[in-house]
Structure 1
Amino acid sequence: MEVLQRAGIGVSEAYQAARQLQDVYDASALSPGQAVHLRFGGSYQDRRLRRLKLRASAETNAAVVRTDEGGFAARTTKRDLKRRVHAAEGTIRSSLFAAGRRHEVPPKLMITVIRKLSYLVDFQRDLREGDGFEVLYATDTGPDGKRARVGPLLYASVERRGEQLEMYRFDAEGTGVTYFNSEGKSVRRLLMRTPLNGARISSGYGMREHPMLGYSRMHEGVDFAASRGTPIYAAGDGVVRYAGRNGGYGNYVKLDHRDPFTTAYGHMQRVADGVRPGAHVNQGEVIGYVGNTGRSTGPHLHYEILKHGEPVNPRSLDLPTGYELTGQELKAFKQRVAEIDRMRERRGEPTRVAQASCGEAESKPENAC
């Protein structure tokens, strides 16, 4: 409404137009710099609003137009988008993210690639200079020739010690799982190997000389050095068994997952709000923050995976997949894999994804993703 008043439209008329716009578009979603097109009466002196138009989403425009009765009516129209599939392929020099950016893959998509592949790849240890990667993704372009939307990511692969690790996008009904290997197994694993971002391994699993006690003893987890306050994520879906102070572990959380796995997290700065015994948590949900509590020489996370109650090495454990396609769903997935593989071969050919609607349709557009 403030935008309309600054354009010289009266308070009452601006209020009516804004109220009608709310039926098809949430005006609070307007962002700085977003264009709002206004059309007034036939002469310069006539400041009566005839039409307001803005882009509501990548797929739709929203408009408010004056009716013959003098009021306003709102409508949406579909934008004519063209989809283009892009492919990037190359070798890794310093990091996978840098390699993707060198081939102009948008940062948002490279972050998606890294997050999804992190279930399969230890980016600190597995990837070496010269390893290959491939990414296939889509972008949508509007009638003005400008990029309207980036994504989705359709395919990605990296080379790990001579082995190619692939993932294909496929929307499995009711699971929320969208990336699978070529056999139809989810790339998402039951547990995350590294339940925080931006960390380095400061101490591995196995026998070591304890940095504070001065003698050798078994280190039953992996230590990740990270900045104080770095969010710690639940390694998998589960139930909180313990949350609170626990001797030398300091602030500590223990989670029960699908049998036979349990995970533990020590030396937290604090436990996240709502994380208490009996509470359910989802994979990737913040359960605490990196700290230096308990018997600790600096900010880090002590992370343990237990199988049948016995600690195991998180870095070498063969974790089960979170979901595996079967039956008709697997058949549909195989067809989608063939389609994506054909796109990998074609590359760069535009495909129309939404037709312009010249009518007064007010129905929501289909999701072009």
Structure 2
Amino acid sequence: MPHTAPQSSMRGMAIIDGGLQLIAAPIPVPQPGHVLIQIAYAGVNRADLLQVAGKYPPPEGASALPGLEVSGIVAALGEGVTDWRVGERVCALLSGGGYAEFASAPEGLCLKIPQAIDLQQAATLPEAVMTAMMALGAEANLQPGERVLIHGGSSGIGLVMGQVAMLWGAEVFATVGSDEKAAYVSQLGIHPINHALSPFLEQVMAATRGDGVDVIIDTLGAPKLSAHLQLLKRGGRIVMLAMLEGGTLPEATKLGALLLKHLQLRGTTLRSRNDIEKHALMEGVSARIWPYVASGALKPRVDSIFPLAEAEKAHLRMQERLHIGKILLEVAPHAARTDE
């Protein structure tokens, strides 16, 4: 039988009338193979904003509360869980429910937090490292010596992907929207492409002396496809993670380069994958990314922290695109003191 949490209800942020409101909700009961987490911090992702706007519903069976990644301590164990103990520090990927005091996660989507990072930093990582493994590894098959362009390079996920690509031996270019963001990514060894100054196509082609890149991690969508096809080298790959600028191709878009240069266009999302697929990605994270977190080679960045009840303010900061790194919600930062 699973352990039980010491209380029966929790605070959570629910989507009501197109906004977020603090509610009392029942604490999830961990099912077999699941871990109940008392949440210290929750990461804010653009998918959360889309869900609040009614444009990205949760998968069937997932919590209706937003929130895709958390850090905290193990509060209870479902039947059959043997690799975790109550009170242990944990961060986890969720299908929803992170904007709350407790959440239940499959043990295969939980990560032990290395001593090198704290609970705040840990909350920035689950979505980012899984997205990096999915996009750069499973979809793009990024190789040492290749060049990659990452859009949204100063976001929480973008910064992690850029560092992972470099650690895997690639040369990394990342689009940013300000001099401040350009300065930060440059400190990490990433080539900043400030699209506020001139089109990214011109800048990347100039920086590569007309050679282009092997992989593009695209969050912009159809309006930029023509530029991406021009930018890719022969045998290049586009991995489309989002379509923030739209999904309809301009009439003038020419697709001939897909054939002539043997290009690949792949679309994927993390949330739509089933648990088996996510577990396979997590195994890749554990083998190819998490050691860099433990050693300090991969440096997570917290942009700002808002109280759980002020989640809408956190969403507003993301909408304004001023952040560098991950925006967090503070739920119960004292939760892990028993393990420190």
* TM-score between the two structures when normalised by the length of structure 1: 0.22
Which protein is richer in strand relative to its size?
1
**Higher helix residue share:** 2
In our comparison, the structure showing a higher alpha carbon Rg is 1
